[in-house]
Homo-oligomer: A and B are copies of this chain.
Amino acid sequence: MDQLRRDPVAGRWVIVFTDKPYAPKDFDIETLPDKKGTCPFCYGHEGMTPPEIQAHREGATKANSPGWSTRVVPNKFPALKIEGELNRQGLGMFDFSNGVGAHEVIIETPDHTKSLADLLDHEVEKVIWSYRDRSVDLHGDKRFRYIMIFKNHGFSAGASLAHSHSQLIALPMVPKNVNEELAGASKYYEYKERCIFCDMLAQEQSENERLICENSRFLAFSPFASRFPFEVWILPKEHHSDFSFIQTEDVIELARILKEILLRIKRVLGDVPYNFIIHTSPIEEQEREDYHWHIEIMPKLMRIAGFEWGSGFYINPTSPEVAAKYLRKAKIV
C-alpha cells in the first residue's frame, strides 16, 4: 500500500507512491524553445538592464559593459520597490502597507547557452559569492526582515527569460512559510534540545536509503516526505542557521555539490524546469540553535491542482528512495 508521510519540520503530509513508483520516463517533461528577441542578460546588452549593483569582472573592465562573469542588477519589473517606508495601516479588519522591498537578479554567466549545471565549479562559486555578498549588504537595511534567494529554471517553473539567472527578494516581514518552518524546528528543539536538521542529517547518513552524494561540508539527499518527484535537499553538515554567514571553504564545497546535483538531475530527467530556494533564518544578530539553513531543489514534473491548494497535502508518485537511486546512479563524468 502507498504511504502517507509527514514532514517533521513543516508538519505537512505527503501521499507517496511506494507500490508502483513513477520512473523518469513516466513524466511529460516540458522543454520550451527559447524566446526570440535580444537577450538583456548577454554581453553587449548591459544597457538593457538597470545599472549593475555588483559584478565579478575580469581585469579593468568598466561597470555595465562586457567582461563580467556574474552580474547583479535590480529587477526591471520589481515585485517590490526599494524606496520608501513600510507604513503599516489598517482598513477595518484588514491590514496593508506600502510595497517596500528589494528585488534583484543574479545573472549567473554571460553564456546564453549554459545553465547552472553546465558551469565550472569556480564559476558556480562566484554565483554563491554574489548571493552571499548581496545578502550581507541587505542585512544592513533596517526595513528588511528576510532575504529570499531562489532560482526559477524553465518556463513552467516561472522563468520569463531563458538566460541562466537567479533572484533575490528582501522582504519587510518574515514570510508565512518561513515562520512555519521556524516554528516546527523550534518545537522539536524544545522537546529534544537538538536541531531537527542535524538529526535529519544523522538519520539520512545512517539509513543510507535516500542519500545522493556528499562532500566534506555538505550532504545531498531526497527528503523522507518529498513533496515532489526528484526533490533534493542540500544541507551543510555543520550547524549554521544563516546562509549569509557562509565562509570560503563552504562556498567552494557548496558550489561543487550544487552543480553536481543539478547535473545529476539533468542526466536523469533532461532539461527539466525546476525551482530552488535557499531556506535561511530571518535577519537576526546571532545564529540560532534551532534552525539550520539549507537548499531545497524542486523539479517541476507535476501540475499543482485543487487538492494541493486546498489541503497543503502533496501527491508524490516517485518515492524518495527510488528517486535517490536514479540520481545516485546518474553518470556525471
A93-137 CB mask vs B (1 if < 8 Å, else 0) is 111111110000000000000000000000000000000000000
Residues of B within 8 A of A155 (CB): 303
**A37-45, A61-69, A173-181, A238-246 - interface stretch:** A173-181
* B307 with A298: CB separation less than 8 A: no
Check if A292 is an interface residue, CB within 8 A of chain B: no
A160-200 CB mask vs B (1 if < 8 Å, else 0) is 00000001010111011110100000000000000010011
* B176 with A11: CB separation less than 8 A: yes
The size of the chain A interface, using a CB distance under 8 A, is 72
Residues of B within 8 A of A196 (CB): 93
Main secondary structure of the interface of A (DSSP, over half): mixed
Instruction: With A158-B303, A305-B157 as known contacts, state yes or no: A176 contacts B311, CB within 8 Å.
Output: yes
B-contacting residues, A1-34, CB 8 Å: 1-6, 8, 10-13, 15-16
Check if A59 is an interface residue, CB within 8 A of chain B: no
Check if A281 is an interface residue, CB within 8 A of chain B: no
Instruction: With A3-B99, A200-B93 as known contacts, state yes or no: A298 contacts B309, CB within 8 Å.
Output: yes
**A48-56, A260-268, A272-280 - interface stretch:** A272-280
Residue on B with the closest CB to A203? B92
CA distance A315 to B91 in the complex (A): 20
Instruction: With A81-B1, A96-B4, A99-B4 as known contacts, state yes or no: A275 contacts B306, CB within 8 Å.
Output: yes
Instruction: With A275-B305, A306-B158, A311-B148 as known contacts, state yes or no: A4 contacts B97, CB within 8 Å.
Output: yes
* B98 with A1: CB separation less than 8 A: yes
CA distance A191 to B188 in the complex (A): 28
Check if A139 is an interface residue, CB within 8 A of chain B: no
Residue on B with the closest CB to A94? B224
CA distance A158 to B80 in the complex (A): 30
Query: Residue A306 contacts which of B91, B173, B277, B312 (CB distance < 8 angstroms)?
Result: B277
CA distance A171 to B15 in the complex (A): 11
A-B contact pairs, 14 of them (CB 8 A): A4-B80, A4-B96, A4-B173, A12-B175, A15-B79, A16-B99, A79-B315, A93-B196, A93-B203, A94-B225, A158-B304, A171-B311, A176-B311, A275-B305
Q: Which residues of A contact B (CB under 8 A)?
A: 1-6, 8, 10-13, 15-16, 79-81, 84, 86, 91-100, 146, 148, 150-152, 155-159, 167, 169, 171-173, 175-178, 180, 196, 199-200, 203, 207, 224-225, 275-277, 279, 296, 298, 303-307, 309-313, 315
